[in-house]
C-alpha cells in the first residue's frame, strides 16, 4: 500500500511537472507570438515612415515644379515674403555656370 501511495505521488509529481512544462512551453509560444507581433508592428511603422518620406519627396518635387512655372514663381515669392525679392532669381534654362544677369561682376570673366 505504501508503494502504491508513493507511486501515485511520483505519478502526481510527473503530471505536475508535465503541466508546468506545458505552461512554460505555452508561455514561450505566447512570448514568441508577442515578439512576432512587435516585429510585424515595427515593420508596419517602418513602412509608414518610408511612405511618409516618399510623400514628403513628392511634395518637395511638386513644390519645385510649381516654383518653376511663371505664376507659381510669383505666388511662391509672395509666400516666402520679401526675402525672396532681395535675392537674384535663378536662370530658367539649365546652365552649369553663373548667369550673366544674376552675376554682372562675372560677365567680364565669361566673355
Cell of 67: 516654383
Are 102 and 88 in contact by the 8 Å Cβ rule? The answer is yes
Q: pTM of this prediction?
A: 0.29
- Classify residue 95 as left (phi > 0), alpha (psi -120 to 50) or beta: beta
pLDDT tens digits, 74-100: 666 665 655 444 555 555 554 555 554
Domain residue spans in the chain? Answer: 2-79
pLDDT tens digits, 12-67: 877 778 778 877 788 877 888 788 877 788 788 888 888 877 777 777 766 665 55
Instruction: Tell me the H-state helices in 69-106.
Output: 70-80, 83-86
64/81 Cα distance (integer angstroms) = 17
Amino acid at each position: 500500500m505504501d508503494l502504491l501511495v508513493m507511486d501515485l505521488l511520483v505519478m502526481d509529481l510527473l503530471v505536475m511537472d508535465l503541466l508546468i512544462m506545458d505552461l512554460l512551453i505555452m508561455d514561450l509560444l505566447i512570448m514568441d507570438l508577442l515578439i512576432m507581433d512587435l516585429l510585424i508592428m515595427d515593420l508596419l511603422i517602418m513602412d509608414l515612415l518610408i511612405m511618409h518620406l516618399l510623400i514628403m519627396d513628392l511634395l518637395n518635387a511638386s513644390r519645385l515644379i510649381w516654383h518653376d512655372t511663371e505664376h507659381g514663381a510669383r505666388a511662391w515669392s509672395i509666400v516666402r515674403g520679401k526675402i525672396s525679392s532681395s535675392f537674384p532669381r535663378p536662370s530658367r534654362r539649365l546652365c552649369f555656370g553663373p548667369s550673366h544677369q544674376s552675376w554682372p561682376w562675372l560677365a567680364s570673366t565669361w566673355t
